[in-house]
Structure 1
Amino acid sequence: MTTLENYNPSGVGVTGRLFGLPFDYDSANLIILGVPWEVTVSYSAGTARGVEATLNASSQLDLFDFDNPDGWKQGIFMPEIPQHILDKSDALRPQAARIIDRLESGEKLDAELTELLATINQDCEATNQWLFEETSKALSQGKRVGLIGGDHSVPLGYLRAIAQHYSSFGILHIDAHADLREAYEGFEFSHASIMYNVLKLPQMVKLVQVGIRDVCIDEVELIQKSDCISTYFDPMLKQKQYAGIPWLETCKQIVSELPQDVYISVDVDGFDPKLCPETGTPVPGGLELEQAFCLFREVVNSGRKVIGFDVVEIGNAEWDGNVAARIVYKLCNFLDLSWKN
């Protein structure tokens, strides 16, 4: 049995533990919650099992981090992936697909599907409440929390708990999509509505979006009229680079719009699809991994504090899990570093 006393950080990572680390819930300072939920996905499924793909890949990562070499020592632990959440997701997903198929055929919902929609919305809210309670428990013990999803609807309960612990905070949102649709396809807690729902939290004072390139007219209109949202569309970012503006300079500009306390939300479809090709809604274009890390680094270098993060929409594939595990580990280390500043 590996313990902290005999643990070798350069040794073979033990499978079944996040990054092969020997911490448990009590000894860890950072709790990573896995939420295998994808009821409302509107394109490709598989992200519910992306949580396990990330966990499985994580133990083969080497632990030295160039920004925070001792970051692993903060104590990182992922509790068992909740089977009851996955079971409920698996049961509701085909039911939600019936609703999506009806709407995509151009027809209205009948009485049966309307009732089913209400039931799915209730079950999604129950998952939000479960996550709120799990996050609140960890925060009340002085721990920090990160999240691995699942589709992008899952962080809402977590963010509600964050809002009870911070009087104001901002969100740095990496994504191909703005996720500002109101109850997309009738689902109040759709993966395409997460940021619309987060805007309802009065403590969330600034949403800064990066990499957006697949967006509807209503979302653009909301962005344009909102003082709370700043969106750096991917074509605009590419044009800056083509004009010779250094990416680091753009990162500094993006970070300057954020408040002191920053939550980072990463939908992996915000990256070039070669990095996570099995994500639920891939879109050509996007960020390279080191571009995102540069941006996160500037958040920390600016003296801001990373108060939490999520990495979501991870495809159920070995390569996607490998890349996602590296994003999660980097965010763990940046979070730790920001608390030391």
Structure 2
Amino acid sequence: MSKEFDPNDIGISNDNFFGLPYTPEESDLILYSVPWDVTTSYGGGASHGPQAMLNASLQVDLFDFDVPEAWSAKIGSLPIDDDMYNTSSKNRDVAEALITYMEEGGDRESRKFLQRLESINEACREMVATVKEETSEWLRREKIVGLVGGDHSTPLGLIQALAEVHPSFGILHIDAHADLRVAYEGFTYSHASIMHNAMQLPQIEKLVQVAVRDLCQDEFDVIQADSRIKMFSDYDLKSDCFNGKNWHQQCEAIVAELPQKVYISFDIDGLTPELCPNTGTPVVGGLTFNQAHYLLKSVVKSGKQIIGFDLNEVSPGEGEWDASVGARMLYKLGLFTLASVDAKFGKTIKA
């Protein structure tokens, strides 16, 4: 760490999230950006999320009410991959054309359609493989990895890499959507299929979904049939609240469903739409920022270990609001992850 670093000074633009001075090699937590947004089925722009959050993160004050000396948490950042962003943009144009073709009733069995569909699936397959390879290397160095998306297809490679390190773990999935569709719109690695793909890994002991409020019948049937999946829908959470159950009690119930080791997958549209107005598929309802914060804090307070996380679907739009919210949630995710494994940062939370 640079001796000149002052956590009370303005954020320095050094290509690190929050202007922190730590290199990846000396860090305990690595933030790995994946600027990918190919299969988004409604609004786009999530590939701009990592850079927008990086820029906004310099306005995040480093003092934290939960974690003592938060600025000293060794969080390092990997450079945003311009080649991946360019590949995403090129394939996004093709995918958008295919989606429009399907919406207009085009022949999904035509040779030309199938060839283009396979080209998209292959590009996404390569993205997943790249993410797995890159994150596996940092896991081998005993680093924790937090993935910054990008659309929600991006963390599959990280989840696969973690499955090669941890024999069993659960996923806490905060999202407006269940993401259990099989090859949605023909895209094998669709943002809407991330949890379906993750659940193919036998190492996933439990999937606990929070704030879901948009899903199809097939997804509902999967949830009902698979005992590993527990959904706390936004409607059920609000109904319990109206009937007198407070958020602390609800968080206790959610955390009780999780195993000891937890991966957090956070789609920003799990929050209320006013906090993420430009996200790809905003849905009325959702968690407030403080509710999400308290849930993450509850995971740490329970003594469970957070082994990694992703934050995705932050689309900046024309302003800075979405990126500002995303950057602050990213800071909370990073700090709470380190607090779950390091007594120095976790002692005040677990008290």
Distance, in Å, in 2 between the alignment partners of 1:26 and 1:172 is 28
SS at match of 1:120: helix
Residue aligning to 2:216? 216
The TM-score normalised by the length of structure 1 is 0.98
Residue aligning to 2:329? 327
Distance, in Å, in 2 between the alignment partners of 1:336 and 1:24 is 16
Residue aligning to 1:89? 88
The one-letter code matched in structure 2 to 1:70 is E
Query: Higher mean Cα deviation, 232-241 or 189-198?
Result: 232-241
Residue aligning to 2:347? none
1:37-70 CA distance string (max 9 Å, x none): 0100000111100111100000111011111122
The one-letter code matched in structure 2 to 1:6 is E
The TM-score normalised by the length of structure 2 is 0.95
Distance, in Å, in 2 between the alignment partners of 1:90 and 1:150 is 12
Distance, in Å, in 2 between the alignment partners of 1:305 and 1:314 is 25
Residue aligning to 1:25? 24
Residue aligning to 1:231? 231
Question: What's the CA shift for 1:32?
Answer: 0.3
Distance, in Å, in 2 between the alignment partners of 1:25 and 1:270 is 29
Residue aligning to 1:260? 260
The one-letter code matched in structure 2 to 1:169 is F
RMSD of aligned residue pairs (Cα, Å) = 0.9
Contact kept in structure 2, 1:208 and 1:258, CA below 8 Å: yes
Question: What's the CA shift for 1:244?
Answer: 1.4
Distance, in Å, in 2 between the alignment partners of 1:81 and 1:269 is 23
Question: What's the CA shift for 1:4?
Answer: 2.3
Residue aligning to 2:7? 9
Distance, in Å, in 2 between the alignment partners of 1:321 and 1:198 is 27
The one-letter code matched in structure 2 to 1:84 is D
Distance, in Å, in 2 between the alignment partners of 1:324 and 1:38 is 17
Question: What's the CA shift for 1:307?
Answer: 0.5
The one-letter code matched in structure 2 to 1:334 is F
Question: What's the CA shift for 1:114?
Answer: 0.4
1:91-111 CA distance string (max 9 Å, x none): 000101121112111232221
Distance, in Å, in 1 between the alignment partners of 2:38 and 2:287 is 27
Residue aligning to 1:277? 277
- Count of residues paired in the alignment: 339
The one-letter code matched in structure 2 to 1:12 is I
| Off by >4 Å, runs of 4+ in structure 1 | none
The one-letter code matched in structure 2 to 1:95 is V
Distance, in Å, in 2 between the alignment partners of 1:25 and 1:177 is 33
SS at match of 2:33: strand
Residue aligning to 1:67? 66
Question: What's the CA shift for 1:340?
Answer: 2.1
Residue aligning to 1:161? 161
Listed as ranges, the matches of 1:277-296 within 5 Å are 277-296=277-296
1:15-44 CA distance string (max 9 Å, x none): 232101111121211110000001000001
1:189-218 CA distance string (max 9 Å, x none): 000000000000111110000000011000
Q: Select the residue among 314, 338, 341 that pairs with 1:339.
A: 341
Residue aligning to 2:179? 179
Matched, 1:302 2:317: no
Stretches of structure 2 that go unaligned for 5 or more consecutive residues are 344-351
SS at match of 2:211: strand
The one-letter code matched in structure 1 to 2:219 is E
Residue aligning to 2:52? 53
Residue aligning to 1:101? 100
Distance, in Å, in 2 between the alignment partners of 1:69 and 1:22 is 18
Distance, in Å, in 1 between the alignment partners of 2:105 and 2:176 is 26
Distance, in Å, in 1 between the alignment partners of 2:184 and 2:238 is 29
Distance, in Å, in 2 between the alignment partners of 1:4 and 1:307 is 28
Aligned-pair identity in percent equals 47
1:210-269 CA distance string (max 9 Å, x none): 000011000000001111100011111111111111110010001000000000110001
Residue aligning to 1:138? 138
Question: What's the CA shift for 1:119?
Answer: 1.3
SS at match of 1:294: helix
Question: What's the CA shift for 1:90?
Answer: 0.3
Matched, 1:119 2:143: no
Question: What's the CA shift for 1:142?
Answer: 1.2
Residue aligning to 2:349? none
Contact kept in structure 2, 1:72 and 1:333, CA below 8 Å: no
Distance, in Å, in 2 between the alignment partners of 1:72 and 1:6 is 14
Stretches of structure 1 that go unaligned for 5 or more consecutive residues are none
Distance, in Å, in 2 between the alignment partners of 1:270 and 1:106 is 31
SS at match of 1:321: helix
Residue aligning to 2:348? none
The one-letter code matched in structure 1 to 2:64 is D
Contact kept in structure 2, 1:17 and 1:59, CA below 8 Å: no
The one-letter code matched in structure 1 to 2:166 is Y
The one-letter code matched in structure 1 to 2:90 is A
Distance, in Å, in 2 between the alignment partners of 1:234 and 1:144 is 30
Distance, in Å, in 2 between the alignment partners of 1:158 and 1:270 is 21
SS at match of 2:275: coil
Contact kept in structure 2, 1:71 and 1:337, CA below 8 Å: no
